[in-house]
């Protein structure tokens, strides 16, 4: 079975039009295959976040083509893209973005409630399972602002997992954590790929982190400069 690549970016360029026009991404082409754990490395300001926002379909203002799961995504309407994100993409931010109005458990449940593929009871059970993966089940009924940074980040990853997405993306998800928590989150990512075959695309500028992934995409000034396989 020759599966489609999970994600394929073809010659993506991005410009910012402020006082002057600046090109932030220059003909970026990358391909992520099923089950891969890929990292993106590069100096601060080289365009990693910008690229990730485009790949996650949140930013639609770019040149080039983006394919997800064998379907062209470029040019689709916002409602379609929202549905796609909900169903197929899990996103983990550098700053643990959780909804403080809801409990930890509800935060994890919301993308699944939105998708409405399962009943509420089933969703609650699944959310609990995901929290267990990250050892957060005891905090399920707390509000996010009662948690530490590392704990919040683990909850965000659990949320990203709730709809069994095709791909999880992270923008420096450990960038704001201490070494111990970083290691913990990294181990969980590793576990996800190895045990569940989860595809991951993680931006980082942690050398060690990158080395431990299946493949690292190196970026410099908006260009992909080399693909280093670490294994």
Partner 1 sequence: MSWKLILEIAKALMLARIKQTLVAAVGVLFSISMFIALLGFMNGLNSLLDGMILNRTPHIRFYNEIKPNPNQPIQLSSEFGPDLNSIRSVKPSTSRLAIHNSRSIIQQLEQDPRVLGVSPKLAAQVFFNVGTLDLNSNINGIDGFKESQLFGFEEYVIEGRVEDLDQLNTIILGKGVADRMMAKLGDVIQVTTAQGNRIQLKVVGAFQSGLGDFDKTNSYASLATVQKMLGQPASYFTDIQVKLHDFNQAPLLAKELGTIFEVEADDIQTVNAQFETGSEVRNIISYAVGITLLVVAGFGIYNILNMMIYEKLDSIAILKAIGFSPKDVNRIFTSIAILIGLVGSSLGLVVGYLLGLLIDHIPFETDALPTITTYPIDYNPKFYLIGGVFGLLTTYLAGFFPARKASSVDPVEIIRGK
Ligand X SMILES: Nc1ncnc2c1ncn2[C@@H]1O[C@H](COP(=O)(O)OP(=O)(O)O)[C@@H](O)[C@H]1O
Out of 5, 13, 59, 212, name the contact with partner 1 by CB under 8 A. Answer: 59
Q: Does 199 bind Mg ion (CB under 5 A)?
A: no
Q: Does 58 bind partner 1 (CB under 8 A)?
A: yes
195 binds, among Mg ion, ligand X, partner 1, none (CB under 5 to 8 A by kind): none
d(CA 118, CA 18): 45
Long-range contacts for 132-135 (Cβ within 8 Å, ≥24 apart)?
133/158, 133/161, 133/188, 133/191, 134/158, 134/188
Cβ nearer to ligand X, comparing 42 with 90: 42
Q: Does 46 bind ligand X (CB under 6 A)?
A: yes
As to burial, measured by CB atoms within 10 angstroms (0-12 exposed, 13-18 middle, 19+ buried), residue 190 is middle
Out of 49, 156, 174, 204, name the contact with Mg ion by CB under 5 A. Answer: 49
Cβ nearer to ligand X, comparing 52 with 105: 52
82 binds, among partner 1, Mg ion, ligand X, none (CB under 5 to 8 A by kind): partner 1
91 binds, among Mg ion, ligand X, partner 1, none (CB under 5 to 8 A by kind): partner 1
The residue written with tokens 């930890």 in the block is 104
95 binds, among partner 1, ligand X, Mg ion, none (CB under 5 to 8 A by kind): partner 1
Span near Mg ion by CB under 5 A; candidates 41-49, 85-93, 184-192, 194-202? 41-49
Under DSSP, the state recorded for 131 is H
Cβ nearer to ligand X, comparing 20 with 119: 20
Q: Does 50 bind Mg ion (CB under 5 A)?
A: no
Cβ pair 200, 189 in contact under 8 A = yes
Buried b (16+ CB within 10 A) or exposed e, 136-162: bbebbeebbeebeebbbbbbbbbbbbb
């Amino acid at each position: 079975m020759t599966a489609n690549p999970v994600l394929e970016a073809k010659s993506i360029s991005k410009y910012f039009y402020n006082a002057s026009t600046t090109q932030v991404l220059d003909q970026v082409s990358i391909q992520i295959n099923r089950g891969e754990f890929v990292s993106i490395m590069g100096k601060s300001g080289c365009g990693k976040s910008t690229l990730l926002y485009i790949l996650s379909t949140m930013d639609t203002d770019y040149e080039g083509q983006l394919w997800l799961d064998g379907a062209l995504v470029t040019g689709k309407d916002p409602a379609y893209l929202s549905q796609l994100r909900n169903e197929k993409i899990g996103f983990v931010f550098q700053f643990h973005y959780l909804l403080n109005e809801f409990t930890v458990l509800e935060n994890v449940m919301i993308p699944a409630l939105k998708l409405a593929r399962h009943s509420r009871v089933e969703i609650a059970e699944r959310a609990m399972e995901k929290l267990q993966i990250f050892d957060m089940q005891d905090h399920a009924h707390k509000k996010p602002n009662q948690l530490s940074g590392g704990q919040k980040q683990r909850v965000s990853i659990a949320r990203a997992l709730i709809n069994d997405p095709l791909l999880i993306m992270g923008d420096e998800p450990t960038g704001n954590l201490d070494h111990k928590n970083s290691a913990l989150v990294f181990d969980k990512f590793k576990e996800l790929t190895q045990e569940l075959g989860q595809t991951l695309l993680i931006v980082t500028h942690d050398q060690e982190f990158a080395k431990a992934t299946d493949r690292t995409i190196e970026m410099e000034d908006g260009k992909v400069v080399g693909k280093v396989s670490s294994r």
